[in-house]
């Protein structure tokens, strides 16, 4: 079956698909967690101004995210 | 003294991350190009490689200088987040492979699969479109990952030129060695390299995200090295624990 869509449309779609696969792919939990981490640390660092909590929370949340993602991956399907 | 140590620690992590990431992606791209070249002929394969390299160079030329003009805080949050996502994906995959939960990336198997697929398509006259497209896609997609790593790490550290040079050296070294030991790319310790890159990308991602959000790291830039050590330890311990659990489960299944 030939693709009748215009070249620019196909390029935009391919570009979007590339970024989706790159940033979400088969690990949507990591993408969602990073958005939450950035929001939480921004709140701590820029709004309530507790620097120590911000620099401790950031790597801890990253490690928790990795652990949760590993748990998802290790689950028998 | 502390300032010199801070500057050299960020440079060491930058050079290490860019070199290893570029080398790993180059091994993957080279596997595909070698398979295409041997099965369908080199002319069309090299044309595909040439066009992919031209497209990648255009992207670096277009976005590289533009990224330098983006406000630093915003750039570091975006770049840090991308590096965190990308790095965690790499690290997770490498840990799963090292602990036996996922099959290792086998360059021999990929080479054989690509060859079988190409041979099944039969001969082609004039320009071999299949060889051209497969070589182009292989180089362009793996190359995009190199471009993103170089642009994100290089611009956020204000060392884009250094990142480009290190990446080019990695690509040339792997290219030359790969051509000499053609078909033996499976000997490259890819998973260990992937694990190291994952640790470095997650460390950089954490560091730049923090900087972008106005977090003041204790020790300044040297905190980056502390993050590398922390994530390296976490990865090592996780692999060991999962490996033991996996071996116990295997033994129980056999009994």
Domain boundaries, chain B: 11-254
How much of chain A is helix, strand and coil, in % rounded to 5?
80, 0, 20
Q: Do A66 and B88 touch (CB under 8 A)?
A: yes
Let me know how many helices (H) and strands (E) chain B has, helices first. Answer: 8, 0
The CA distance from A67 to B136, in Å, is 36
Q: Which two tokens stand for residue B204?
A: 């950089």
Q: Do B96 and A30 touch (CB under 8 A)?
A: no
Sign of CA dihedral B208, B210, B212, B214: negative
Nearest chain A residue to B237 by CA: give it. Answer: A67
pLDDT, tens digit, for every residue of A34-68? 999 999 999 999 888 899 999 999 999 999 999 99
| Radius of gyration of chain B, Cα coordinates, nearest whole angstrom | 20
- Angle formed at CA A20 by CA A17 and CA A25, multiple of 5 degrees: 115
Three-state SS string over B205-246 comes to HHHHHHHHCCCCCCCHHHHHHHHHHHHHHHHHHHHHHHHHHH
What is the per-residue pLDDT for B192?
82
What is the per-residue pLDDT for B217?
93
Q: Do A63 and B234 touch (CB under 8 A)?
A: yes
pLDDT band with cut points at 50, 70 and 90 for residue A1: very low
Which of A70, A72, A73, A76 would you mutate first to test chain B, the one with the most B CBs within 10 A? A70
What is the per-residue pLDDT for B123?
59
Q: Which two tokens stand for residue A40?
A: 């939480």
Chain A residues touching residue B81 (CB < 8 angstroms) = 34-35, 38
B75 interfacial to chain A (CB closer than 8 Å): no
Q: What is the DSSP string of B96-161?
A: HHHTTSS----HHHHHHHHHHHHHHT---SSS-HHHHHHHHHHHHHHHHHHHHHHHHHHHHTT-HH
A23 interfacial to chain B (CB closer than 8 Å): yes
Q: Do A22 and B148 touch (CB under 8 A)?
A: yes
Contacts of A59 (CB under 8 A, 6+ apart): B206, B227, B230, B231
Q: Do A51 and B227 touch (CB under 8 A)?
A: no
CA separation, residue B105 to residues A18, A64, B56, B94, B194 (Å) = 21, 26, 25, 9, 10
The rounded average pLDDT for each run of 10 residues, N- to C-terminus, in chain B (255 residues) is: 61 87 86 81 87 86 75 84 91 88 69 72 63 86 85 82 91 85 64 85 92 91 90 93 82 77
- Judged on CB neighbours under 10 Å (0-12, 13-18, 19+), B235 is buried
ipTM: 0.88
């Amino acid at each position: 079956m030939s693709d009748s869509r215009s070249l620019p449309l196909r390029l935009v779609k391919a570009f979007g698909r590339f970024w989706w696969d790159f940033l979400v792919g088969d690990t949507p939990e990591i993408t969602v967690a990073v958005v939450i981490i950035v929001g939480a640390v921004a709140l701590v660092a820029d709004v309530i101004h507790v620097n120590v909590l911000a620099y401790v929370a950031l790597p801890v949340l990253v490690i928790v995210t990795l652990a949760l993602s590993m748990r998802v991956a290790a689950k028998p399907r | 003294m502390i300032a010199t140590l801070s500057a050299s620690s960020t440079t060491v992590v930058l050079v290490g991350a860019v070199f290893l990431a570029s080398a790993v992606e180059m091994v993957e791209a080279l596997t595909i190009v070698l398979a295409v070249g041997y099965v369908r002929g080199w002319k069309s394969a090299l044309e595909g490689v040439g066009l992919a390299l031209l497209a990648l160079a255009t992207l670096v030329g277009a976005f590289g200088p533009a990224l330098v003009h983006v406000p630093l805080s915003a750039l570091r949050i975006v770049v840090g987040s991308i590096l965190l996502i990308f790095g965690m994906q790499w690290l997770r995959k490498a840990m799963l492979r090292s602990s036996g939960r996922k099959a290792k990336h086998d360059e021999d198997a990929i080479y054989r699969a690509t060859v079988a697929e190409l041979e099944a398509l039969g001969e082609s006259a004039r320009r071999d479109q299949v060889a051209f497209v497969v070589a182009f896609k292989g180089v362009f997609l793996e190359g995009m990952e190199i471009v993103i790593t170089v642009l994100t790490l290089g611009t956020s550290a204000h060392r884009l030129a250094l990142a480009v040079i290190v990446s080019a050296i990695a690509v040339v070294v792997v290219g030359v060695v790969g051509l000499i030991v053609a078909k033996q790319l499976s000997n490259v310790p890819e998973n260990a390299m992937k694990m190291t890159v994952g640790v470095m990308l997650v460390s950089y991602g954490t560091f730049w995200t923090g900087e972008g959000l106005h977090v003041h790291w204790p020790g300044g830039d040297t905190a980056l090295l502390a993050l590398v050590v922390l994530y390296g330890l976490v990865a090592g311990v996780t692999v060991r624990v999962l490996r033991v659990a996996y071996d116990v489960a295997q033994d129980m299944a056999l009994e």
